[in-house]
Amino acid sequence: MPTVTFVLPDGSERRIDVVAGTSVMLAAVEHDLPGIVGECGGCASCATCHVYVDPAWAARLEPADEVEDDLLGFAAAPRRAGSRLACQIEMDASLDGLRVEIPPEA
């Protein structure tokens, strides 16, 4: 089972086992991690699951599509390199060890 490490807004870390095929957003919501709301349920329409993907992992992800790219402009926290919507990152074995930072609430 792949794991993802969340760096929380307070700097602490939570490592979570995630069933392959599950989005990073759903894993965060299921584990009550602060800062990930997932208001839209994962259909890329709200930007409440904005994360910063660790630079070592960013290139391993498929690029954001046009919808995700547009939504990131509306995220509460500033956009920066590695900004992604966690609902659009589906975990699989190739992402085992993924690290993402949950931005502080803006």
Local mean pLDDT, 10-residue blocks, the chain (106 residues): 97 97 97 92 89 96 95 93 96 97 84
DSSP labels, 46-94: S-TTEEEE-HHHHTTSPPP-HHHHHHHTT-SSPP-TTEEEGGG-B--GG
Amino acid letter, 95: L
Q: What is this structure's pTM?
A: 0.94
CATH number of 3-101: 3.10.20.30
Q: What are φ and ψ of residue 102, in 5° steps? A: -85, 120
Nearby residues of 77 by Cβ (< 8 Å), 6 or more positions away: 50, 103, 104, 105, 106
What are the residue ranges spanned by the domains of the chain?
A: 3-101
